[in-house]
Amino acid sequence: MADALLQVAGLSKRFGGIVASDAIDLDVVPGELHAVIGPNGAGKTTLIAQLTGQLHADSGTIRFAESDITKMPMYERSLIGLARSFQITSLFLDLTVLENVLLAVQAHAGHSFRFWSDARSDAALREPAMAALARVGLADRALQRASALSHGEHRQIELAMALAGKPRMLLLDEPMAGMGPDESARMVAMLRELKGGLTILLVEHDMEAVFALADRITVLVYGRVIASGRPEEIRANAEVRRAYLGEGDWERAHAR
Amino acid sequence: MSRSFTFRNGVIAALLLVLILLPAYVMLTGDRFLLTLFTRIVILAMAAVSLNLILGYGGMMSFGHAAYLGIGGYTAAILCFEGIQSGFVQWPAAIAVSALFALVVGALSLRTRGVYFIMITLAFAQMAYYLASGMARYGGDDGLAMESRSQFAGLLNLSNKTTFYYVCLALLFASLFLVWRMTNSRFGLVLQGVRSNETRMRAIGFPTFRYKLAAFVIAGVMCGLSGALIANHTDFVSPAMMFWTRSGDLMVMVVLGGMGTLFGPVFGALALLFLEQFLPAMISAMVRPFNPAGAAKAGEYWQIVLGPLLLIIVLFARGGIDGLLGTLSRHLPGSSERGHG
């Protein structure tokens, strides 16, 4: 697809004898929410790690906004608009909620060799940070220490941090992981609001959420793409059914 | 920093006042020893403040910080030995050499973490120690006397103990002010982000290495300057000031006072040097009623008391002395300080 924002072609990664990514092709077009699903061990996290630059691929290319970013280091990818949220919450727990988001804004506000003026009262940082916190509904918790908030709220901070950098694309690595049903529902509602305005690649275990949100779905099994298409196509795909045979998630999501 | 008056802020204000007024007290009582002790406290407090910048705020476990004391001190003493007595040359030279050393050590060590980082910084400090021991021209193991204190073209006479004390105090205050501004700036926020979660910092777009290196060099420079002050204070430098136990002392000051707090290292330096000074006599006095003959000897074992004391602080008062004051602030009536580290 020529107009894809993110284009992955032939991406491969092996760890010893294990093929974690096996010639993965993936296109994400601007404005869509593209979900990547797959059973445990399918290589979803490896894929995300390669997209963010945490891992480097053995072969294949990653193009983002028409430029080759296959070998670009992690921090530069973030600066050109590829934001990620972590599967395992990875915040600055001993800093305040606001400081967490301030740092995310600051990362995109030029170099930080500014030694003198107070960063916390700097409107150029504070206003976008507060706006992002308001967007995820955490504005009133801004001055609390991040460690004092609940798991679900941590995911909201993650999202606020991803949004704070005004990214062109969000990589969400299991944003619903470890959430209760209420928190999940809130996250789904929040993602639905973000969708359309933002291109999102969503890696998620929660099938219900995936089928409720995704415009297109790619299914990974043993590091290989076995199907890619609209939700109803994926739902009807025999190979996907086989891959998920016996997995409770799948049955629950399609029992309705 | 909480603006309202709290117990903690009161103690800090009192401490600053004591530091400022000390020479007046010394003049009244004629207790010259107290001035010497406090000059030492102020100089080492400055070194601890510099270590706190990277250890407390940046989470960098540098275990070779005393190297900068030696490097700054030796730079001043060697220049003096070679006939250059101007402080306008000696002090900037001490700063420049420390900066260079920090740049090299930092560039090689800051890509590693944890134990490796500790070991590399320690190794460099030991290298500096052996280098100084090997410089036969400059006294080798025996050290090098500084024939005269740094000259400032008649503007300042550092041989005057009171003047020298105030110069040291002014530099300590300047360091505190600098660290205060820096830790609240964008740079400081990056530093604290790195301490908290460096992987995440890189993931959101910070090239963390260069910020850590900058902090490392700033801390080295600050400590190098306090090294030049020590050389002036004792009129003498020796390899011993760089020995790894000296680096340990600086770390103890930071941890004891409260890591990552502005005034913690000052409290820590004060507490450690006071204990070092008075604990032996206190132990002797306590032992004397039971064993008059062994009392003096018992005083030599003051570190046996210091060790557990430090252990208790680390185990039960994570925030060190500053944390303790903060806790008191919250529990004393009339205070309204919120949790703040």
Q: Is the pLDDT of residue A2 over 70?
A: no
**Under an 8 A CB cutoff, do A119 and B184 touch?**
yes
- In the stretch 207-236 of chain B, residues with CB closer than 8 A to chain A read 207, 211, 214
CB-nearest to B205 from A75, A95, A120 is: A75
Question: pLDDT category, A251, cuts 50, 70, 90?
Answer: low
Report, as an integer, the average pLDDT of B246-268. 94
CB-nearest to A103 from B181, B204, B339 is: B204
Give the model's pLDDT for residue A250: 61
Question: pLDDT category, B337, cuts 50, 70, 90?
Answer: very low
Report, as an integer, the average pLDDT of B166-181. 98
Q: Is the pLDDT of residue B338 over 80?
A: no
Q: Quote the CA–CA distance of A11 and A46 in Å, as a whole number.
A: 11
**Under an 8 A CB cutoff, do A78 and B181 touch?**
no
Helix (H, G, I), strand (E, B) or coil at A12: strand
**Under an 8 A CB cutoff, do B181 and A115 touch?**
yes
Q: Is the pLDDT of residue B341 over 50?
A: no
Q: What is the pLDDT of residues A14-62, one digit of tens each?
A: 988 888 899 999 999 999 999 999 888 888 889 988 998 888 899 999 9
Q: Which residues of chain A neighbour B189 with C-beta distances below 8 Å?
A: 99, 102-103, 106, 112, 119-120
- The more confidently predicted of residues A104 and B314 is A104
ipTM score of complex? 0.84
Q: What is the pLDDT of residues A145-172, one digit of tens each?
A: 999 998 888 888 988 998 888 889 999 8
Give the model's pLDDT for residue A78: 81
- The more confidently predicted of residues A3 and B110 is B110
Question: Tokens 């020995």 — which residue?
Answer: B243
Report, as an integer, the average pLDDT of B280-309. 85
Q: Which residues of chain A neighbour B258 with C-beta distances below 8 Å?
A: none
- The more confidently predicted of residues A205 and B76 is B76
Give the residue on B whose Cα is nearest the Cα of A51.
B203
For residue A209, the distance in angstroms to the closest alpha carbon of chain B comes to: 26
CB-nearest to B186 from A79, A83, A112 is: A112
Kindly state the tokens that stand for A106.
């600051």
**Under an 8 A CB cutoff, do A115 and B201 touch?**
no
**Under an 8 A CB cutoff, do B196 and A118 touch?**
no
Q: What are the structural domain ranges in chain B?
A: 7-331
Q: Is the pLDDT of residue B307 over 90?
A: no
For residue B177, the distance in angstroms to the closest alpha carbon of chain A comes to: 10
Q: Which residues of chain A neighbour B174 with C-beta distances below 8 Å?
A: none
Q: What is the pLDDT of residues B129-152, one digit of tens each?
A: 999 999 999 999 999 999 999 999
pLDDT, chain A, mean: 87
Give the residue on A whose Cα is nearest the Cα of B202.
A75
Kindly state the tokens that stand for A25.
């092709």
Helix (H, G, I), strand (E, B) or coil at A22: strand
pLDDT, chain B, mean: 91
Q: Quote the CA–CA distance of A39 and A221 in Å, as a whole number.
A: 7
**Under an 8 A CB cutoff, do A103 and B190 touch?**
yes
A94-98, B196-200, B289-293: least confident range = B289-293
Give the model's pLDDT for residue B339: 42
A68-77, A144-153, B311-320: least confident range = B311-320
Decide: B72 and B223 in contact? Cβ < 8 Å: yes
**Under an 8 A CB cutoff, do A103 and B202 touch?**
no
CB-nearest to B202 from A75, A102, A122 is: A75
Q: Which residues of chain B neighbour A93 with C-beta distances below 8 Å?
A: 196-197
Decide: B282 and B263 in contact? Cβ < 8 Å: no
Q: What are the structural domain ranges in chain A?
A: 1-81+169-256, 96-166
Single-letter amino acid, residue A198: L
Give the model's pLDDT for residue B317: 79
Give the residue on A whose Cα is nearest the Cα of B196.
A92
Question: pLDDT category, B2, cuts 50, 70, 90?
Answer: very low
Q: Which residues of chain B neighbour A95 with C-beta distances below 8 Å?
A: 192-193, 196
Report, as an integer, the average pLDDT of B263-280. 93
CB-nearest to A120 from B184, B196, B201 is: B184
State the DSSP H helix or E strand holding residue B73, giving kind and residue range, or none if neither.
helix B66-81
Give the model's pLDDT for residue A17: 84
Q: What is the pLDDT of residues B33-75, one digit of tens each?
A: 999 999 999 999 999 999 999 999 999 999 999 999 999 999 9
Spell out which chain A residues touch chain B, with contact meaning CB-CB distance below 8 angstroms: 52, 54, 74-76, 78-79, 83-84, 86, 90-95, 99, 102-104, 106-108, 112-120, 122, 125, 145, 161, 165
CA distances from B275 to B49, B243, B245, B281 (A): 19, 20, 16, 10
Question: Tokens 């509904």 — which residue?
Answer: A137
- In the stretch 123-182 of chain B, residues with CB closer than 8 A to chain A read 181-182
Give the model's pLDDT for residue A54: 85
Give the model's pLDDT for residue A248: 56
Q: Which residues of chain A neighbour B181 with C-beta distances below 8 Å?
A: 115-116
Q: Quote the CA–CA distance of B19 and B28 in Å, as a whole number.
A: 15
Q: Quote the CA–CA distance of B187 and A162 in Å, as a whole number.
A: 21
Q: Which CATH number fits domain A1-81+169-256: 3.40.50.11610, 3.40.50.300, 3.40.640.10, 2.60.34.10?
A: 3.40.50.300
Q: What percent of chain A has pLDDT over 70?
A: 93
Give the model's pLDDT for residue B306: 85
Decide: A172 and A201 in contact? Cβ < 8 Å: yes
Give the residue on A whose Cα is nearest the Cα of B193.
A92
Q: Is the pLDDT of residue A255 over 70?
A: no
Helix (H, G, I), strand (E, B) or coil at A25: strand
Q: Is the pLDDT of residue B282 over 90?
A: no
For residue B173, the distance in angstroms to the closest alpha carbon of chain A comes to: 16
Q: Quote the CA–CA distance of B240 and B142 in Å, as a whole number.
A: 9
Q: Which residues of chain A neighbour B193 with C-beta distances below 8 Å?
A: 92, 95, 99, 103
Q: Does B189 touch chain A (CB under 8 A)?
A: yes
Highest mean pLDDT among A160-169, B107-116, B148-157, B166-175: B166-175
Give the model's pLDDT for residue A252: 63
**Angle made by CA atoms B170, B45, B279, in degrees to the nearest 5:** 130
Q: Is the pLDDT of residue B162 over 60?
A: yes
CATH number for the domain running over B7-331: 1.10.3470
**Under an 8 A CB cutoff, do A90 and B204 touch?**
no
Counted across chains A and B, CB pairs separated by less than 8 A come out at 93
Q: Is the pLDDT of residue A228 over 90?
A: yes
Give the model's pLDDT for residue B335: 47
Rg, Å, chain A Cα set: 18
CA B68 from centre of chain? 11
Report, as an integer, the average pLDDT of A162-190. 85
A196-210, B187-201, B223-237: least confident range = A196-210
**Under an 8 A CB cutoff, do B186 and A106 touch?**
yes
Q: Quote the CA–CA distance of B64 and B121 in Å, as a whole number.
A: 5
Closest CA to B250 of B86, B30, B8, B46: B46
